[in-house]
Amino acid sequence: MLYIFVVVFLIILLVPIRIKLTVIYKDGKLHVYLFSKELNIKTKTAEQKVSVNTAKKVHFKLINFLPDKLRKIIYKASNNKHKLNAKLKFQLDYGFEDAALTGIFFGVLNGLSGFVYKQFQFLLKINRYEFNIVPHFNEVMFNFSANCIISFNLVKIIYMLISIYVF
């Protein structure tokens, strides 16, 4: 009985777990799926009066967005050689009434692809990365979808936690 427990425990530790996250923005509506189950995301919008003091507070919050301890944890996790594996796929369909403006944005968005890759590579080991941009000339539209599959096993998570808090 003890051998069966040990074998099951090792299988749980070593077998990779995959999480699939999909974000779709289409026709002005945002849909978020975890595996194939849609998550209900409700955003609260409140009207606030803008004054000089609130504008200063917002600017201060944007500069110091993350606490120091969280910054240190993210930095240690990013330097760890055992990062979580990920497969990323982005699809962007956009268009403007002006074909020249659509063409200019096509170049800008393609340049953004490398920046997005480096931001995700900071915390994840990216196995496959696709960034597809489809311009629709003389047609006003904006549709975006992002698929992300992150795979990890519990041994890797435990190792990362130990390396963050001990070293």
pLDDT (mean) for 148-152: 92
Domain locations along the chain = 16-37+54-166
What is the chain's mean pLDDT, rounded?
82
| Tens digit of each residue's pLDDT (9 = 90 or more) over 87-118 | 999 999 999 999 999 999 999 999 989 888 98
Please determine, for residue 48, whether its predicted confidence score (pLDDT) is greater than 70. no
Q: Which two tokens stand for residue 121?
A: 């590579």
- pLDDT for residue 66: 65
Tell how far CA 72 is from the center of its chain: 20
Q: How would you class 86 by CB atoms within 10 Å of its CB: exposed for 0-12, middle for 13-18, buried for 19 or more?
A: buried
Residue with more model confidence, 155 or 69? 155
